[in-house]
Chains A and B, each alone.
Chain A
Amino acid sequence: MPGLTPDEWTAVALSLRVASVGMLASLLPGLAVAWLLARRDFPGRALLDGLVHLPLILPPVVTGYLLLLAFGRKGILGGWLSEIGIVFAFRWTGAALACAVMGFPLMVRAMRLSIEAVDRGLEQAAASLGAPPLAVFLTVTLPLSLPGILAGAVLAFAKAMGEFGATITFVSNIPGETQTLPSAIYTLTQVPGGEGGALRLTLISVGLSMGALLASEWLARRVGRRLAA
């Protein structure tokens, strides 16, 4: 795009990478939790439900700080993980983790609703034909809830593109490493003469979010049409 400085480009590219990785990494756990909440009754179900929704309610700064306590260099898990070569603190991977955690409730919610909407009678029919539980999930539940699952993924991606509070608390605001689009806009608004850059990045942010929403609508409609055909 004309007019973007190399630093601004870096922020856009980093944001896309962080949001994509965060969304993709939470896809499988999100699906598993959504399925558990939608289809299984077990002790601790309410606790899991609460835990998943916590990042939606907590101030993002608190979530970011909790991540720092857990995954920081001297954190409970961070120290152990750094020994096997996984470092989150002040790295772009940490930003992706923060985005994944913040987007998780939105993703699980959309997936869970669409799994709940799948007729259990169809799952029972598949099982009575000899399909084991995992096969029932993969061949019946998953394809029939695909529109909602895609919507959940896109929602999590869009949320990740805009995540600011938890990210800046957990991994700070390091240009080229953890300075995502919102952090860059925030930085630009804090320096004299940064308004032009802030406006350009804001427009890009709006464009990406709209694009993501339109893409999810289009996907959902396409899948819906295939199912109804």
Chain B
Amino acid sequence: MSVAADGVAVSLARRLGAFSLDVAFTTGPGLTALFGRSGSGKTSVIGLMAGLGRPDRGRIAIGDEVLLDTARGIDVPVHRRRIATVFQEARLLPHLTVRGNLGYGRFFARRRPGPAVSTGTVVEMLGIGHLLERRPAGLSGGERQRVAIGRALLAKPRLLLMDEPLAALDEARKAEILPYIERLRDEAGVPIVYVSHAVAEVARLAGTVVVLEEGRVAAAGPAGLILRRADLLPAHAGEAGALLDMVVAAQDPAGGLTHLSGAAGPLVVPHLARPPGARVRVRVPARDVLVATQAPAGLSARNVLPGRIAALDARGPAVMVEIDCNGVTLAARLTGASVLALGLAPGLPVFAVIKSVAFDPTEVGSRAVEI
């Protein structure tokens, strides 16, 4: 398996009772999501990668450094793997202050190669400066997770594992942390493997998605491709949709709207608190896209994007229609009857219609670079 310089190549097999895990995937820089419903083996994979358990067979390498190779008897112990983990329940050390917890990872990393990570930078990036003298018991769930992320970063990891770090938090807390994870992805320079069963989180954060299903890799590839293919997301077919990389073009405070521009064409979405020029990623759920064969008139929907049908994929009563809008692929979920009535076929010029309210502002991701 050939991998980018700091890419991670993973292959693991383990049988535990009736459950068998057998996966192989590679990750690149940026954030790779391990996506699947609970029981699909995501957390087992994270545990084996961290070195908290031992697979029956397997190999894990970061770049050329082999951390595990059961065939050659290599099994680097957890404390020497330089893979830091952010657990679902934060797992801060209760007898230490926030400062102590941050210092804990830093202390054991002091002789690790690589540039020193400054506590100040991490504290600033995660907005935890006012918490330093507090104890974990006095923090909110969101604050704890931010401290756990900071602690992991200060351990100078080569790879950061995040095991559903938002699963235990309510929606407001999730919205509070997501921007920090985006900054982490864009600024920390550490590749991240992020476990999640939430499409919205994956759509917002991931560059690459590995779909796990019953202990097997069901699909793997760029997030934009995987998330619009309902057939690759059997448990979340209703949530499939395209990811569009856009730029904030203008704000319309009076109308409570934000205008975005991108290759597919302009979009109008509910107000986003981002400055003009900010790069954002919006998810367009396939179920919220209508298809018209003629330019619609007298329509309440604000977003009409011209394109051509690229592919049709019938699954049961629903048909996934892929529309190529100036090189960007949109997905629409229609009934078979509609497809027949409109005479949709590959190559046909069509208009994709999206209601502005289909965009959930809390799901819109920011991105410093192409991901």
Residues of A within 8 A of B151 (CB): 129
The stretch from A139-147, A191-199, A205-213 touching chain B is A139-147
A131 to B105, CA, bound (A): 8
Interface residues of B in 59-89 (CB under 8 A from A): 77-85, 87, 89
Q: Is A5 close to B, CB under 8 A?
A: no
Bound together, the chains give a CA A92 to CA B77 distance in angstroms of 46
Judging by beta carbons under 8 Å apart, are A121 and B79 in contact?
Answer: no
Task: Select from chain A the residue with minimum beta-carbon distance to B156.
Answer: A130
Question: Which of A74-82, A97-105, A221-229 lies at the interface?
Answer: A221-229
Report chain B residues within 8 Å CB of A130: 79-80, 82, 105, 108-109, 112, 155
Q: Is A127's CB under 8 angstroms from B93's CB?
A: no
CA distance A227 to B94 in the complex (A): 6
Do the beta carbons of A127 and B87 come within 8 Å of each other? Answer: no
Contacts A121-B87, A122-B93, A228-B137; A128 near B52 (Cβ below 8 A): yes
Q: Are the CB atoms of A227 and B112 closer together than 8 Å?
A: no
Check if B91 sits within 8 Å of A131, measured CB to CB: no
A190 within 8 A of B: no
Q: What is the minimal beta-carbon distance from A119 to any residue of chain B, in angstroms?
A: 8
Q: With A129-B105, A143-B95 as given contacts, are A124 and B52 in contact (CB-CB < 8 Å)?
A: yes
Cα separation A128 to B137 with both chains bound (whole Å) = 21
Q: Which residues of A contact B91 (CB under 8 A)?
A: 119, 121-122, 124-125
Residues of A within 8 A of B84 (CB): 128-129
Complex Cα spacing A228 to B94, Å: 7
B108 near A135: Cβ-Cβ < 8 Å = yes
Q: Of A125, A135, A229, which one neighbours B85 at CB under 8 angstroms?
A: A125
A143 / chain B contacts, CB cutoff of 8 Å: 95
Contacts of B180 in A (CB 8 A): none
A residues in contact with B78, CB < 8 Å: 124, 127-128
Among A121, A124, A136, A228, the most chain B Cβ lie within 10 Å of the Cβ of A124
Tell me the complex Cα distance, A103–B93, Å.
Answer: 32
A-B contact count (CB 8 A): 71
B304 within 8 A of A: no
Q: Which of A130-158 contact B (CB under 8 A)?
A: 130-133, 135-136, 139-140, 143-144
Is B31 interfacial (CB-CB < 8 Å)? no
Of B79, B93, B95, B112, which contacts A128 at CB under 8 A? B79
CA distance A128 to B67 in the complex (A): 14
B98 CB, min distance to chain A CBs, angstroms? 13
Query: Closest residue of chain B to A125, judged by CB?
Result: B91
Q: Is the CB of B87 within 8 A of A227?
A: no
Q: Are B104 and A129 in contact (CB under 8 A)?
A: yes
Residues of B within 8 A of A125 (CB): 85, 87, 91, 93
In angstroms, Cα B52 to Cα A143, docked, is 22
Q: Does A126 contact B (CB under 8 A)?
A: yes
Residues of A within 8 A of B93 (CB): 122, 125-126, 139-140
Q: Judge whether A144 and B79 touch: CB under 8 Å.
A: no
Q: Is B152 an interface residue (CB 8 A)?
A: yes
Residues 35 to 63 of chain B near chain A (Cβ within 8 Å): 50-52
- Tell me, in angstroms, the Cα distance from A129 to B137 when the chains sit together: 20
Bound form: Cα–Cα A121–B112 in Å = 24
Q: Is B99 on the interface with A (CB-CB < 8 A)? A: no
Tell which of A122, A130, A136, A139 has the most Cβ of chain B within 10 Å.
A130
Name the CB-closest residue of A to B100. Answer: A139
Q: B116-143: which residues lie under 8 A (CB-CB) from chain A? A: 135, 137
Per-position binary interface string of chain A over residues 66-108, scored 1 when its CB falls under 8 Å from any chain B CB and 0 otherwise: 0000000000000000000000000000000000000000000
Chain A nearest CB, measured from B86 CB (Å): 9
Given contacts A129-B84, A227-B94, A229-B135, contact A139 B79 (CB under 8 A): no
Cβ contacts under 8 Å, B82 to chain A: 130
Among B51, B89, B104, B137, which residue has its beta carbon within 8 angstroms of that of A229?
A: B137
Given the known inter-chain contacts A130-B82, A130-B155, please indicate yes or no for A144 contacting B94, CB distance below 8 A: yes
CA–CA, A122 and B94, complex, Å: 9
**Residues from chain A with Cβ under 8 Å of B105 in the complex:** 129-130
Complex CA–CA separation, A119 to B105 (angstroms): 18
Question: How long is the Cα–Cα vector from A224 to B89 in the complex, in angstroms?
Answer: 21
Across the interface, which residues of B come within 8 angstroms of A135, CB to CB?
Answer: 108
Q: A139-B104, A228-B137, A229-B135 are in contact. Are A129 and B95 (CB under 8 A)?
A: no
Q: Which residue of A lies closest to B110 (CB)?
A: A130
Do A132 and B79 touch across chains, with their CB atoms under 8 A apart? yes
